[in-house]
Each structure stands twice: as C-alpha cells, then as structure tokens.
Amino acid sequence: GCAGIEFETIKKLDGYDGTFDAPLMSNLAIGRRYRRKGLAEDLVASAEAIARKEWGYDECYLYVEKRNAPAVKLYKKLGYRVLWEDDTATTLLPTEDGKVKNGQTTIVCMKKKIGG
C-alpha cells in the first residue's frame, strides 16, 4: 500500500472565498488482496504523524470522491469529518477502448484534528 502527505493549498467551499495552506493526505491505496488487514489505518496514522510531529500541525485534510463509499466510511471511522462537497469536479474515467476521458464527480473535503 501507499499514502502521501503533502503541504497543499486547501479550497474553502463553505460559503467563504479563499484558501489556506495545510497538510493534505493523498493517494491512499491498498492492493485488493491486502485490504481489510489494518494497512490503510496504519498508513493514515503514519501520514498524520508526519503532519503533527514533523510539521507541527494539529489538523489534516483529504479529498475523496463521494462515490468511493468504502473510503469515505473508513475516513469517518478514523475521525475525519466532511467539510464540504464539490459536485462540479471532474475526474479521469477509463473507457471501453482502454483510453481515459473526463467525467463528472463529486469531491468531498474531509478534516481531522490530530493534535493533542
């Protein structure tokens, strides 16, 4: 599996204009045969530890596609809460001929307090 943590500009889509910089967890992925073994939780905890211990932040953010219900459920179980949803987002989708095309999706921004 893998997960990333980066310092990123987070959009405010909660009725206020603007952005702010914060740790953003990204690209969490676990191979199918290794799922449901606690690896995702370990990777999330490691990313949060970097944001907290190495960078000094007390919050961590992530974006996830709303249709990825298992991921949304996992993040909620781990303490992340929905901040906003963007139903105007686009993503790359595979086509039957092996190519990709742009398609509509809903992105969910989630946040967790990670500090003491």
What Å distances lie between residue 25 and 7, 40, 86, 98, CA to CA? 9, 12, 18, 29
Q: What is the mean pLDDT of the chain?
A: 91
pLDDT in tens, 22-34: 999 998 999 989 9
Domains and CATH numbers, the chain: 2-113 (3.40.630.30)
Confidence class of residue 20 from pLDDT cuts 50, 70 and 90? confident
Pairing between β-strand 100-113 and β-strand 59-65 as defined by DSSP bridges: antiparallel
| Contact assessment for residue 8 and residue 55, using Cβ atoms and an 8 Å cutoff | no
Residue 104 has pLDDT above 90, yes or no: yes
pLDDT at 17: 67
